[in-house]
Amino acid sequence: MTMAARSQRPVNVGRLFHWAAEQGRPTVMHLDRPFDIAPDSGTRFDVPALAATVEDAAGWLHGAGLRHGDRLAIVKENHYDFILLASAAARLGALPVMIAPIRSEAHIRTLLTRVSPKVLVMGTTVLERMTAAGIALDDPGMTLVAVGGDRPGVPDGTLRIDDVRGGARPPVRFRGVHEPMLVTHTSGTTGVPKLVVHSPATTLAAVPFRIESYRLPLMTSRPGDVVASGISFAHNRNLSWTNGTLFRGPKKMVILSEPGLDNVARMLAAHPPTSLEACPNVFQYWEELADTRPELFAGVRRFISTFDAVHPRTVRKFLGASRVRLPLWAWGVGQSEIAGIAAGVATRSMVRPGRPRAHDATNVGFPPLVRVKVVDPETGRKRSRGKPGLLMVRTKSRCLTYLGEDDRHRAKDQGRWWNTGDLGEYAGYGRIRLIDREVDMIPGMSCIELESTLLDRLDRASEVIVLGVPGQLPIPVLCMRDDALDPQEWDRACRGLPEMDKPRLVPWDEMPRTATWKVRRGELREQLLGSSDTYGTGQWT
């Protein structure tokens, strides 16, 4: 390989780790538990060791029968090694499909049917669930390889990695830059997730996916940084985060595969971060740590939240826990299909208590190197400033299709524009204000803003969801740290707000969630109310 080829920035996930190793990146990754695909290799990996793990995985995947043009389905417990398996498959010219361990075994089965994989890598915990649910995984021509610890519910005779290891080193054969490279899935808040197909051209070769690798004042990782992430690693964000982080080469990458408070406290105490990323709802869950163990976040210069809108109270608590002079909260809202829709940066002063429209700090942002327009849902005509409508996005990061659902993809593909199914409005100076998902809307209000206000006024609440049901008052659903709510506390919280029905209390661990910890509002509505009626049409979900 020539020096020029060796230094060329990779656009295929199959080259990413090998390129970083060739560049001599000094980063060391620290795990909260061993990889499912390398359970005996410990919890510390430098970049060459990550590349070697990819190389090893390519070998045993090839031994399991995976070849150029085949599909690999990965369904396992949340961990960073999703992307290592994807990289290994891409080196063979196969198409990796990353599927998080979602709650519904039936949904997993539906997704696997759409994928029709040649090889299925499944975590033993998920496999045990599928077996207990009576769901067969004996598709003709498919090889199942189980990864992870031993589980009593795993069927006898299930292949493990050692059973398919030991063959000759397979040839590296990448697919083209415009061919499918990676499949992730949507969060699935409204039903079975959609399988989103991306190519190198729509991901690593596109500017929106590479923002974090550029030298940005106050935002870019430095050589001495400790960069921690607690996201759902089966999603596209893992790819863009890995690309940007390996390019900048911080001192450490810290992986938080399990968001439990004890686990997170242990890891952050051992590796104090200067940058910390998680899904917004995970940050909400971690607010208890910000209250009781603020020293864990004392050195954080940059907090990052993606996937969904974040509430001002959450931002305020963590920025307040940092002892850095000017900590920043970088937030982005996007979709698996198109990357970003809007993004912004918040400071302590922007979310201070009592500041008028403090929620604008976390739901009014700029399109991140994409074009966004607001249109009337019925006519498709462009809306003026302050008039809510559907958000349409034009970007080079738009996905190729939905695997197994081409018609559904075409329904949202409107020429050069993509229908996000999100509601928003122009806020001036090129900014977009986020309002709600169309399917979750309540006429005359923004659930995002109402929920943010209630969270601000209910300090012990770890989650607030407001459900709209036609013909009824909006129904608030609360998760309280002690599972109790004083009626007077609720009355004070509601002053000056639209009239609502009596609140329903749901324990945090009983709230139906997606793999990114978003609340599945449709499932929650049926669980509490026995109804699926909404104000929104849901036709763009």
Per-residue pLDDT, 267: 99
Query: Looking at 118-127, 211-220, 297-306, which range is the least confident one?
Result: 211-220
* Angle, in degrees to the nearest 10, between helices 447-457 and 487-494: 130
Per-residue pLDDT, 219: 72
* Alpha-helical runs (H) found in 322-405: 360-363
Residue 319 CA: distances (Å) to CA of 174, 190, 285, 304: 43, 32, 15, 11
Residue 392 pLDDT > 70, yes or no?
A: yes
Residue 202 CA: distances (Å) to CA of 18, 88, 182, 209: 21, 20, 10, 8
Residue 6 pLDDT > 60, yes or no?
A: no
Model pLDDT for residues 81-101, shown as the tens digit of each residue: 999 999 999 999 999 999 999
Q: Where are the domains of the chain?
A: 3-21+41-197, 447-529
* Mean pLDDT confidence for 409-413: 91
> Measured between alpha carbons, how far is 207 from 357 in angstroms, rounded to an integer?
32
Q: HSE (CB half, 13 Å, CA atoms) of 329?
A: 32
CATH of domain 447-529: 3.30.300.30
Per-residue pLDDT, 357: 81
Per-residue pLDDT, 498: 94
* Mean pLDDT confidence for 73-79: 98
pLDDT band at 106 (very low <50, low <70, confident <90, very high): very high
Residue 359 pLDDT > 90, yes or no?
A: no
Residue 5 pLDDT > 50, yes or no?
A: no
* Mean pLDDT confidence for 155-174: 94
Return the number of other C-beta atoms located less than 10 Å from residue 397's C-beta.
25
Per-residue pLDDT, 512: 93
H or E element at residue 128: helix 124-132
Per-residue pLDDT, 510: 92
pLDDT band at 149 (very low <50, low <70, confident <90, very high): very high
For 3-21+41-197, the fitting CATH number among 3.90.76.10, 3.40.50.980, 3.30.70.20, 3.40.190.10 is 3.40.50.980
Most confident of 70-74, 281-285, 442-446: 70-74
Per-residue pLDDT, 415: 87
**What length does the chain have?**
541
Phi, psi of 379 (to 5 degrees): -100, -20
